[in-house]
Structure 1
């Protein structure tokens, strides 16, 4: 996968979730590139913060083969972290590149996703 694939994902997400898209970062051997960041989100992060995020997802990508070897589920396509205010999705392309996406936390509830429904079930 390439930055072009990540740009296509960015466009898809902008059309699908609109203003609930917080950021999209592509990374590879050459570093990280912010493909999209919402203005209010950009104000919350320094360049050093973004570098830390890139380092974190890069480390996770290095573990992709290990994760795939632990489970008999096929290739690892995506990891999801759900916080109160945001949902982080990481799409590791291989051991050195991938795409990290952040969405507003309410996106799962708004779009009636299975994870959102599970979270709602636990709140009942």
Structure 2
């Protein structure tokens, strides 16, 4: 996945979810780039915190080959983390490159009520 692909993804998400898009970050083994960062989200992060988050998704991407070897499911395309206020999606291209996306949690529930309903059931 290239920066251009991450920019295309950003355009798609802006059209699809509008202001509920929080961030899009593309990374390689040596570098990273914020493709999109909503102003109010940027205000919540001090210097270095975004870089630490990028380091975290890099570690997750590094584990992609291992995850693929554990399960007979084919290629790992995306991981999704559902937090109270946001949903993080990580598209690891390979062990060294990928794109991380954050959305407001409420929009994810609107677009995918299946996970929302499952969360309700496991919370009971």
Using structure 2 for the length normalisation, give the TM-score: 0.93
C-alpha distance in 1 between matches for 2:112 and 2:29: 36
> 2:26 aligns to what?
26
Supply the distance in 2 between the matched residues of 1:89 and 1:112 (Cα, whole angstroms).
13
For 2:63 and 2:82, locate their aligned partners in 1 and report how far apart those are by CA, in whole Å: 20
The unaligned stretches of length 5 or more in structure 1 are none
Structure 1: how far apart are the matches of 2:50 and 2:77? 22
Q: What corresponds to 1:64 in structure 2?
A: 64
| In 2: Cα distance, 1:31 partner to 1:47 partner | 16
1:76-116, Cα deviation, whole Å (9 max, x unpaired) = 00000001100000000111000000000111222243212
Please give the secondary structure, in 2, of the residue aligned with 1:14.
helix
- Residue correspondences, number: 124
Q: Which residue of 2 aligns with 1:116?
A: 116
Q: Distance in 1 between matches of 2:54 and 2:34?
A: 10
- Superposed displacement of residue 20, structure 1: 0.5
Query: Can you give the 5+ residue segments of structure 2 that lack an aligned partner in the other structure?
Result: none
**Could you tell me how far apart the structure 2 residues matched to 1:101 and 1:55 are?**
14
SS in structure 2 at match of 1:47? coil
Q: What's the CA shift for 1:123?
A: 5.6
Q: What is the CA–CA distance in structure 2 between the aligned matches of 1:11 and 1:68, rounded to whole Å?
A: 29
| Distance of 2:5 and 2:113 partners within structure 1 | 24
Structure 1 residues 54 and 47: CA distance shift in structure 2, 3 A: same
